Amino acid sequence: MREKDLTVFTKEQMKKLKDAEPFFFTAVNLQYKLNTSRALNDKVADVYEERTGQIVSRNWSCGNCSYQLYRKAGIMYYNTLKNAEEEK
């Protein structure tokens, strides 16, 4: 994994996002997201913003805003896992 590749997370960021993995799965593969805590939403948003430089709408009462964040971050999460498997 190249450090400047902004389509994947770093190892440290992946560790932070491990708790959100079930929600990434549903958002990416099943097109829905269940309710999550504000703390988890903020953690995912912080890591996503840190990696991409894109500002995230933190209107957590908006289901679509929350879903879109988990979908985008989930795609990056699974790209990171895929790249790690390919490097082995």
Give, in order, the Cα–Cα distances in Å from 61 to each of 35, 54, 58, 67.
Answer: 10, 20, 9, 11
Q: Residue 17, class by beta-carbon neighbours within 10 Å (0-12 exposed, 13-18 middle, 19+ buried)?
A: buried
The vertex-34 CA angle with 29 and 39, nearest 5°, equals 115
| Residue 2 pLDDT | 43
Tokens matching residue 23: 């929600």
Tokens matching residue 82: 């895929």
| Residue 7 pLDDT | 79
| Residue 84 pLDDT | 87
| Residue 86 pLDDT | 85
| Residue 6 pLDDT | 64
C-alpha 78/C-alpha 88 separation (Å) is 16
Instruction: Give the predicted TM-score (pTM) of the model.
Output: 0.89
| Residue 85 pLDDT | 87
Q: Tell me the pLDDT of the chain (88 aa) as tens digits.
A: 344 566 799 999 999 999 999 999 999 999 999 999 999 999 999 999 999 999 999 999 999 999 999 999 999 999 999 998 888 7
